[in-house]
Amino acid sequence: MSLANGRPHIAIPGPSVMPDRVLQAMHRPAPDIYDPGLVQIMSSIVPDLKYVAQTDGYVAMYIANGHGIWEASLQNVTDPGDTVLVPATGRFGHGWAETARSIGLTVDVIEHGRQSPIDPERVRAALRADTDHKIKAVLAVHVDTSSSVRSDIAALRKVIDAEAHPALLMVDCIASLGCDRFEMDAWGADVMLAASQKGLMTPPGMGFVFFNERAKARRAEVKSVSFYWDWSNRAEPEMFYMYFAGTAPTHLLYALREALTMIREEGIEAVWERHARLAQMLWTAVEHWGQDGAFRLNIADPAHRSHAVTAAGLGKGQGDRLRAWLTEQAGVTLGIGLGAEDADDPTASGYFRFGHMGHVNAHMMLGVLGAVEAGLTALEIPHRAGGVTAAAQAMAAKP
């Protein structure tokens, strides 16, 4: 006997929960790829993506996951041998750095560990030392999904400008777009990356590279870009066939179209606010439980915590026990810890992650928290009882 039967809830940091409306939008036969309806959908998606990203710039769409988009973005603005600066705040910063190395770039990493946001002063020092402007781009991850730390992107723009350094500011928003506030133009990102399966509530398989005029000008100076990765045709297609340099991902487009309609209906400000309030409920519960026992949020300062994903530690071996119990007994699956192999990380043992990106509301969050409290009790993991009540009070309180 298990209480898990019923609708499962996969609360991992991507792929995220898909709304029924999104699932239903895909339930149709294959279209003619020259169908006017499909062409219309493709062109209508562009302004809505720009709305979510808060930009008047360009967007190129790819059939690729986040790893593909890491590569696509770099191919358009660098030549082999160029240098990029990576202020890494977790596994995903290092992942982007590995992609950069694999295509022949020289990568300068500023290691920030797994519990701190990007320090703009360390970026400033690296740019200042780069007197002959070898650094072509700063690669910053807005929310590093492994550590759940959120960095201040506008502060990086200020530093680059203050140093009058020509490096592009490239930002990975794969975890944060449509969850955490992000304003591409106002914050001064030159290039921004996103993927379909997180805040955009669409199945994995599509990636997006947003870019501005500065990045477009840099693209024109790059010696060569493969036909497939080149963003020029994708962002400004002469024929709709060029949007994807081949067959369009038809059903992902139907899904994305519906997901963007849902974001438009709610309004991006309300979407950000919902994520912030739900995250607050989660943090309140964990901080309450942690008053007795080892339960800890990975990021101490709320100002630097993501509203899309939360990494937490629970003491040696206990995180895996709790995750297994939740899946088997409650139908809730939390994300594994990434980077848990690091001995210098205080939360390494028992480290795991809550995904709360996209199609998540208060009863889903309270359901997860109630199941976690039941699991802590059933497994006799030390904690202070009452975390769920504390979260409910946080929900009821006026923001």
Ligand X SMILES: *Cc1c(COP(=O)(O)O)cnc(C)c1O
Q: Which residues bind to ligand X, rule: CB under 6 A?
A: 14, 65-67, 92, 141, 145, 172, 174-175, 195, 204
Residue 323 marked in a binding site: no
Q: Which is nearer to ligand X, 68 or 375 (CB)?
A: 68
Rounded to the nearest whole angstrom, what is the least distance from the CB of residue 270 to ligand X in the complex?
Answer: 23
Nearest residue (beta carbon) to ligand X: 66
Residue bearing tokens 């943090």: 283
Q: Which two tokens stand for residue 329?
A: 């007994």
Q: Which is nearer to ligand X, 67 or 122 (CB)?
A: 67
Q: Which is nearer to ligand X, 172 or 230 (CB)?
A: 172
- DSSP sequence for 335-392: EEPSSTT-TT-TT-TTEEEEE--SS--HHHHHHHHHHHHHHHHHTT----S-HHHHHH
Rounded to the nearest whole angstrom, what is the least distance from the CB of residue 98 to ligand X in the complex?
Answer: 12
Rounded to the nearest whole angstrom, what is the least distance from the CB of residue 185 to ligand X in the complex?
Answer: 21
Give the helix, strand, coil percentages of the chain, each rounded to 5: 45, 15, 40
Q: Which two tokens stand for residue 121?
A: 């002063």
Q: Which is nearer to ligand X, 59 or 88 (CB)?
A: 88
Burial environment of residue 21 by CB neighbours within 10 A (0 to 12, 13 to 18, 19 or more): middle
End-to-end CA distance of the chain: 41
In one-letter notation, the amino acid at residue 146 is: S
CA distances from 255 to 11, 148, 249, 272 (A): 20, 27, 10, 21
Q: Which is nearer to ligand X, 141 or 201 (CB)?
A: 141
- Nearest CA to 284 out of 148, 372, 391 is that of 391
Q: Which is nearer to ligand X, 159 or 200 (CB)?
A: 200
Q: How many Å apart are CA 326 and CA 375, to the nearest integer?
A: 7
Rounded to the nearest whole angstrom, what is the least distance from the CB of residue 179 to ligand X in the complex?
Answer: 10
Rounded to the nearest whole angstrom, what is the least distance from the CB of residue 120 to ligand X in the complex?
Answer: 19
Rounded to the nearest whole angstrom, what is the least distance from the CB of residue 150 to ligand X in the complex?
Answer: 11
Q: Which is nearer to ligand X, 201 or 394 (CB)?
A: 201
Rounded to the nearest whole angstrom, what is the least distance from the CB of residue 204 to ligand X in the complex?
Answer: 6
CA distances from 155 to 176, 273, 291 (A): 17, 22, 34
- Which residues, including other chains, have CB under 8 Å from residue 67's CB and lie 6 or more apart? 95, 99
Q: How many Å apart are CA 23 and CA 6, to the nearest integer?
A: 18
Residues of the binding site: 353
Q: Which residues are annotated as a binding site for substrate?
A: 353
